[in-house]
Amino acid sequence: WVGVLNLSMLIKANNVLRKEAPDLIHIHNIHTYFSFAICYLSQKIAPTFFTAHDAMTVSSTKVSHAHKITVREKLSFARFSWNPFRESFIRCLIRNVKISTVSNALKQVLEMNNVVVDTVIHNGIDVNKFNQANINLDLVKDLNKEFLLSEDTRYILFGGRASAAKGVYVAMQAMPEIRRKFPQTQLLLVGVPLAEQEKLNDFAQSNSLVGTFKCINWLPRERMPLVYARSSAVVVPSQYIDPLPTVIIEAMAS
């Protein structure tokens, strides 16, 4: 409900937009803080462009594959908090807004569920920052010391949210099989808050996975090229239509 209309935030946004009087408004993702009503508000002020990074336009949860999402699916997820008018309201709010997605797969999902997408603009990065030739090896050694990364260990990098949807448990459960062939291998999880690390440790103890992975807390983006340089491989085992995470592009550039 709040994802459709967050009135208090909308009032604040209206004050800012009226004061700044922009020539063009780009809405770069939407969540409950702003809500989809920001689209309706902004188009009254200036031409508006919305980049969809997920399927929240048509679903209040992640979508596992491209299909027409049924009322039964929506109800089974939302249960007592279900808003039966959510998607209809959203389509009205974004009706006159130009929409792009960051992948063709996401465009397909939205259009199968009655949202017209004008274009696809893929995520991009500055590839030079991740080129191995431009990496300071002394800084990589400092990274090893700071996080106690063994020089004898091959690390498989898992970057981003350590959630079931992102496939973190799938990656963890694959490690015993990998370590049978490559014993000196660990899964390296980067960007995992301490509270999430505790959950992963509990899961590891319950599934005999202790010692197969290592967690690093949040790192500034500018240090990520060093992490790629230290890693032997990168894995993105998402369990849903993941809209082209930049980890993939950064890994290819590395």
**Residue 244 pLDDT level (bands cut at 50, 70, 90):** confident
Q: Which residue has the tokens 């909308």?
A: 10
Would the pTM of this model clear 0.75, i.e. be above it?
yes
| pLDDT of res. 132 | 87
Angstrom distance (rounded) from CA 188 to CA 197 = 12
Tokens of 13: 């946004």
* 69-128 residue pLDDT tens: 999 999 999 899 999 999 999 999 999 999 999 999 999 999 999 999 999 999 899 999
H-type helices in the chain, by residue range?
7-20, 37-43, 71-78, 86-93, 104-112, 137-146, 168-181, 194-206, 224-230, 246-253
Angstrom distance (rounded) from CA 93 to CA 248 = 33
- Count other Cβ atoms within 10 Å, centred on residue 239: 15
* 195-230 residue pLDDT tens: 999 999 999 999 999 999 999 998 998 999 999 999
Give the per-residue SS3 of 84-145.
CCHHHHHHHHCCCCEEEECCHHHHHHHHHCCCCCCEECCCCCCHHHCCHHHCCHHHHHHHHH
Non-local CB neighbours of 90 within 8 Å, separated by 6+ positions? 4, 36, 57, 58, 115
Angstrom distance (rounded) from CA 37 to CA 94 = 8
Three-point CA angle 215, 218, 224, nearest 5°: 90
pLDDT at residue 245 tops 90: no
* 151-186 residue pLDDT tens: 999 999 999 889 999 999 999 999 999 999 999 999
